[in-house]
Amino acid sequence: MRCPWCDFEGPLRPLHAHLAVSHPEQVRFEDRSGGDRQVYAVACPICGAGYEQTIKPRHAPDFVDEYRREIRLVAFDMLLNHLVGEHEPHAGAGPNPPES
């Protein structure tokens, strides 16, 4: 599979690691409800579909800072599942995959 943001190409596991190291900015962290709730989100660069998940509020305030890398890995895992499930055979083909 190809990375949807650059020319990296490889199997899913190396691609997953590549996303976390080379494109961490693609996972957004946002405060909601006046700062009482935090979410992480990632959008598909091919179709724009988004995945968003609330970070459990029971965690300590510094939880996101401490586990930001691991949270990104979960977000990229969801993105890869979407790419494989929704965009094969063009998974990772970039924002404008060729017409079938």
Count of domains observed in the chain: 1
18 assigned to some structural domain? yes
98 assigned to some structural domain? no
Q: Write the pLDDT tens digit of every residue in 27-43.
A: 999 887 776 778 999 99
Q: Write the pLDDT tens digit of every residue in 35-92.
A: 677 899 999 999 999 999 998 766 676 888 888 999 999 999 999 999 999 987 655 5
Instruction: Give the DSSP per-residue string, the chain.
Output: -B-SSSS-B--HHHHHHHHHHH-GGGSEEEEEGGGTEEEEEEE-TTT--EEEEEEPTTS-TTHHHHHHHHHHHHHHHHHHHHHHHHHTTSTT--SSPPP-
List 55's β-bridge partners, or say none. Answer: 38
36, 77, 85, 18 alpha-carbon torsion, rounded to 10°: 130
Q: How many CB atoms lie within 10 A of CB 90?
A: 18
| pTM summary value | 0.80
Per the structure, the complete domain to which residue 42 belongs is given by 12-87
